[in-house]
Amino acid sequence: MRDFLNLRRVIMIAIAAALVTWCIYSLRWDWLANPKYQSMMLRGLWQTIWMLVVTMVIGFALAIPIGFVQAAGPRWLAWPARVFCSVIRGTPLLMQIWLLYYGIGSLFPSIPWIRDSAFWPILRQAWPYAVVALSLSVAGYEGEVLRGAFKSVPHGQLEAARAMGMPRFTIFRRIWLPQAVQRVLPTIGGETVLQLKSTPLISTITIMDIYDVAGRVRRDTLVVYEPLLLLAVTYMAITALIVLLFKWFESRFPSKVA
């Protein structure tokens, strides 16, 4: 208790409490009572969280084979995977989103069999292009991380499993993949936070996330600082949840690997 209530911590808590009190009573928050903005904020928050979860799951699922073929071959698959990772990591994410939405997406209406297909109601919306772009971004970065993780798994364990007659897929599922994931789990947590900070880019293709909601509130009410402060607090809260979630994941894995 004495360590918790040391002088430095007490001063920091007092400063934080003073700032929060000043923000509550000195800034303008009456716009929060408007049902229109409440609905927009809930929708934007859902859109951000949904986009984050979906793209991380899809991207990591793609990153596993991308990283594996770079580490174990065959060579004719390893080289395309390396080129893919280099292109994704070497170009801005905003450019990738625009190429998909304003580039490929603008070509679909001129292709009759796509325009007349059952997928056209989906392809004419913006969110599929955002999901693809963000998922490929995760796959490119995490694929390179997993490449190193797969290579770091001791080959002696793999050779012993082969000597015991274990099938190759079983070796991958029970030995190779779990140890690789255990090694990269802290990195995945950091990449998830970075992915959260990348989601505001989807607002450039007409998708309303929490960043876009803050901008709309500022334009409608001419209130500048309050929406941005609320936006910052929201991102910090989501980040804290991500950190706690990955700490729980890390506790579920063994603390040491061979």
Digit-coded pLDDT (tens) for 183-237: 888 889 899 999 999 999 999 998 888 999 988 888 888 888 888 888 988 999 9
CA dihedral 106, 110, 114, 115 (to 10 degrees): 90
- The amino acid occupying position 153 is V
Please name the CATH architecture into which domain 32-252 falls.
Orthogonal Bundle (1.10)
Domain locations in the chain as residue ranges: 32-252
Determine the pLDDT at residue 66. Answer: 93
The C-alpha atoms of residue 65 and residue 63 are separated, in whole angstroms, by 6
The C-alpha atoms of residue 184 and residue 182 are separated, in whole angstroms, by 6
Residues 6+ apart with CB under 8 A from 226: 27, 28, 29, 31
DSSP code for 200:
G
Q: Look at residues 230, 197, 200, 194 and name the one whose alpha carbon lies nearest to residue 212.
A: 200
DSSP code for 164:
T
CA angle at 189 for the pair 199 and 215, rounded to the nearest 5°: 20
Determine the pLDDT at residue 82. Answer: 92
Q: For residue 166, what are the CA distances in angstroms to 158, 161, 170?
A: 10, 6, 6
Contact 55, 195 (CB under 8 A): yes
- Give long-range contacts, CB 8 A cutoff, 24+ apart: 151-155: 151/71, 152/180, 152/183, 153/179, 153/180, 154/258
Residue recorded with tokens 């989906």: 122
Compute the 3-state secondary structure of the chain and give helix, strand, coil in percent, each to the nearest 5.
Answer: 85, 0, 15
A 10 A CB-CB count for 201 gives 21
Greatest Cα pair distance in the chain: 73
Q: What are the pLDDT tens digits along the chain (258 aa)?
A: 555 566 777 777 777 777 777 777 777 888 888 888 889 999 999 999 999 999 999 999 999 999 999 988 788 888 999 999 999 999 999 999 999 999 888 888 888 888 888 888 888 899 999 999 999 999 999 999 998 888 887 777 777 777 787 777 787 888 788 888 888 888 898 999 999 999 999 999 988 889 999 888 888 888 888 888 889 889 999 999 999 998 888 777 665 544
H or E stretch including 7? Answer: helix 7-26
The C-alpha atoms of residue 110 and residue 19 are separated, in whole angstroms, by 55
- The amino acid occupying position 209 is D
